[in-house]
Amino acid sequence: MAISRRGFFDAFGAAGRPALSGAVLAARGLEAHLATAWAQDPVQTGTSTGTGTGGGRQGGRGQRPQLPPGVEEIRINSNENPLGPGKVVLDAIVGKFPEANRYPFNSTPKDADLVAALAAKTKVKAENIVLGAGSQEILKNAMRAFVSPYRGLLTVAPTFENCTGFARKMKFPVTEIKVDSSFKLDVENLIATVRGAGLVYFNNPNNPTATVLGAKVVADFVERVRRISPDTVILIDEAYHDYVTDPTYETAIPLAMATPNVFVARTFSKAYGMAGMRIGYAVGQTDTIKPLARLQMPLNVSVLGIAAAVASTNDPKHIADECARNTEVRAFTVKALTDLGAKSTDSQANFIFVDIGRPAKEFRDACAKQGVMVGRDFPPFENSHCRISIGTMAEMQKATQVFRDVLHPMAPIANPSKGGGGFHDAGRAGGGI
C-alpha cells in the first residue's frame, strides 16, 4: 500500500480521526489510568482502576467488579511482571531509605552511576544513554524532538500507542501501517510509506501482537529507510527485549550505535519488574539522542529507583530466571488456549495475542466477573483478539480455567482432539482433557 508523501500527511492527519478516546489509546500496559489520561472524560476503558488525569485526577480509585469472597483478582491486563523486582532490589531500596532526603545527584549510587551501569551493560559510553521516567518519557520527548506538523509519525496498527496518542494530541500527522498476516510489523509497507516521516516507531517485540522480527530483517529495514528517507529517525522500542526466545532476534543497540538517526528505547518496567518505579532509557549515537538529553526532565529517576535499577542491572541471573519462568508459563498458557481452539500469535514477550473468535470486550467482561482482568481492545482486532499478559503459573492455571468457562462453558480445559480447529469446532468437542 504505497502512499504518496501527500498521502502520508493526509492519511491520518489531525482532521482525519475522531477525537481521542481512551478506548483507542494505550499507555504501556497502563490500560486503566494512563490510557484515559489522554481523554478529558475520566473512566474510559472499562478495566480496573481507571480515571483520567486532566484536571486533577491522576490515577484513580478501584472500580473493580465485586468478587465472591476468597476470589483474588488476577491482573493480566497490563504486561506487568507479576513477581516484582525481587528481594535483591527491594533490599537495595530499603537500604537507601537514609538517602530519601537526598537529591539523585547526591545519593549513593547517584544518577550518573546508573547511567554508567547501563553503559557497561549495553557496551556503550555514558554519553550514549539518556535516562527517562519510564521509557514513556523517552517516547514522549522523541515525539517532541522529531515529529512536527510537517514531519509525521509513522507507526503500526496495532502497536503500543503512546507515541500515536501524543502525536495526535500535538496535531502531528500519524500514519498507521497494519501488521502483516502473521501479526508482525509489515516492513515492506512501512518502507513504502516512510519517505518524509519524522519518526518511525518500531516496537520489537510488538505490543500487543507479541511478535518479533529477527536481527537481519531489522538491519535490512533500517538500511533501506536510511536510503529512502535519511532524515527520518527510527525509534526501536525494545521494552520486551529480555523475554524474547526467538534465536533470530538480537538487540538493535549495536545497529543504533553504528547508524545515525536510530535509537533504542529500553525499560525496567517489564522483565526487571519495576513498572511502578518509572525507569527507562534511550541508547544511540550521541548526536541522535542529543535532543532527548536536552528535553530530559531533570532528576527524573528517584534515589530509590536509581538504587533499584543499579542493583538489578548487576543481577543478570535474576533476569535470566524471570525470563525462563515467563517462557514456561507462556508455553503453558498458549497450549491451554490452543487446546480450547483459541490460537495465539508467536509470542516473544510476557503477553500473548489470542484469537478468541469474539469481541475482546465480551470476553474481558466475562473474565472480569470471575476476577481475571485481561487486556483491552486493540483495533483493528478488537472483534477477534484479546491480549493476555502472563502472570505466575498459579495465576495462569486459574485464569485458563476461567478462559475455558468463558469460551466453552461445557468443555474441559484441554481438548487435543480438535487441534487446529477454530474455537467453534472446539466448542463442540466434549470429552477428554
Site for another protein in 153-192 (CB under 8 A): 162, 165-166, 169
Among 297, 320, 324, 394, binds another protein (CB under 8 A): 297
Minimum CB distance to another protein, residue 257 (Å): 22
Q: What DSSP string runs through 385-405?
A: EEEEE---HHHHHHHHHHHHH
CA distances from 305 to 117, 151, 186, 240, 288 (A): 13, 35, 36, 20, 26
CB-based contacts of 133, cutoff 8 Å, min separation 6: 278, 279, 280, 297, 300, 301
Spatial contact of 356 and 404, defined as CB atoms under 8 Å apart: no
Minimum CB distance to another protein, residue 259 (Å): 24
Task: Give 357-361 contacts, CB < 8 A, sequence gap 24+.
Answer: 357/384, 357/422, 357/423, 357/424, 358/383, 358/384, 359/383, 359/384, 360/385, 360/386, 360/387, 361/46
CB-wise, 156 or 304, nearer to another protein? 304
Considering only residues 46-85, where is the footprint of another protein by CB under 8 A?
Answer: 49-61, 75, 78, 80-85
Among 1, 67, 94, 120, binds another protein (CB under 8 A): 94
Considering only residues 275-294, where is the footprint of another protein by CB under 8 A?
Answer: 275-278, 293-294
Name 264's bridge partners.
236, 283
Residue bearing cell 533470530: 248
- Give the length of the chain: 433
CB-wise, 165 or 284, nearer to another protein? 165
CB-wise, 70 or 432, nearer to another protein? 70
CB-wise, 195 or 290, nearer to another protein? 290
Minimum CB distance to another protein, residue 426 (Å): 33
Considering only residues 392-431, where is the footprint of another protein by CB under 8 A?
Answer: none
Minimum CB distance to another protein, residue 166 (Å): 7
Minimum CB distance to another protein, residue 96 (Å): 8
Minimum CB distance to another protein, residue 375 (Å): 13
Angle at 271 between CA 270 and CA 272, to 5 degrees: 90
Q: Could you give the dihedral angle defined by the CA atoms of residues 213, 211, 154 and 192, in that order, rounded to the nearest 10 degrees?
A: 50
Among 305, 341, 357, 375, binds another protein (CB under 8 A): 305
Among 97, 380, 419, 430, binds another protein (CB under 8 A): 97
Residue 87 engages another protein in binding (rule: CB under 8 A): yes
Considering only residues 188-217, where is the footprint of another protein by CB under 8 A?
Answer: none
Closest CA to 262 of 292, 304, 226: 226
Among 167, 174, 191, 308, binds another protein (CB under 8 A): 308
CB-based contacts of 307, cutoff 8 Å, min separation 6: 92, 93, 95, 96, 107, 109
Residue 1 engages another protein in binding (rule: CB under 8 A): no
Considering only residues 344-373, where is the footprint of another protein by CB under 8 A?
Answer: none
CB-wise, 169 or 171, nearer to another protein? 169
Residue bearing cell 554519553: 127
# binding residues, another protein (CB under 8 A): 85
CA distances from 156 to 126, 185, 204, 233, 285 (A): 31, 7, 11, 15, 25
Considering only residues 250-279, where is the footprint of another protein by CB under 8 A?
Answer: 269, 273-278
Query: What's the DSSP call for residue 64?
Result: P
Residue bearing cell 541522535: 288
Among 124, 129, 133, 352, binds another protein (CB under 8 A): 133
Considering only residues 22-51, where is the footprint of another protein by CB under 8 A?
Answer: 25, 27, 29-30, 32-35, 37-38, 40, 49-51
